[in-house]
Amino acid sequence: MPSFAARPHRWSHREAVFAVHDMLRTELAALDRGIGDPRPSALLRAELLAARKRVYETLHPSSRHGGAPGRAGGGKAPRCDRTSPPVRSHAADAALRTGLSERSIRQLVQIAEGIPASLRDLIRDTPLARRQRLLLEVARARLDPEEQRRRVGAALGRRSLAGT
């Protein structure tokens, strides 16, 4: 029988799906190792958790908030069949695997998703990158980018970051 590695164009759809799932699970394990390492800053851990959330929700679409469809009579449909184990939320799964609390997981993801990449790049090599509470305050001001820049400037001791 020919090797599938030598002829990827002959993979069946099912084999391709399994290969993609294996790659995603490998990526998830690598992200878990990085998150569990005590050395990364809060900002880096937040970025790793946001990447982990994207991978986890690709593997488990029913784990997304509001992922279960509504029923005609109201309420939500069950997340899973009775034959399969229930799917945990991303925060619950990450907490189980990394030793952080679910609340910390949700807050760190909020930091990565709420602070724009350009502002995260300014913060990355500063003492602010290790201050989760201040980063969370910046992320929660996401509807006002100018306010985010003011908060980062104040935390870094600069008068303004408006030109960046």
Question: In 87-131, which ranges are continuous DSSP H helix?
Answer: 90-98, 102-114, 117-123
Q: How far apart are CA 40 and CA 34, in angstroms?
A: 8
Q: What is the pLDDT of residue 69?
A: 55
pLDDT, greater one: 53 or 33: 53
Q: What is the pLDDT of residue 12?
A: 72
Residue 38's pLDDT band (cuts 50, 70, 90) = confident
Q: Where are the domains of the chain?
A: 11-64+88-156
pLDDT tens digits along 110-142? 999 999 999 999 999 999 999 999 999 999 999
Mean pLDDT of the chain: 81
Widest Cα–Cα separation across the chain: 68
Q: How far apart are CA 65 and CA 87, in angstroms?
A: 12
Q: How far apart are CA 120 and CA 138, in angstroms?
A: 10
Query: What's the pTM?
Result: 0.73
Tokens of 24: 């995603």
Q: How far apart are CA 140 and CA 54, in angstroms?
A: 20
Comparing CA positions, the residue from 85, 133, 123, 105 lying closest to residue 35 is: 105
Give percent of the chain above pLDDT 90. 47
Name beta bridge partners: 70: 76
Q: What is the pLDDT of residue 101?
A: 94
Q: What is the pLDDT of residue 40?
A: 85
Residue count (the chain): 164
Position 69, amino acid? P
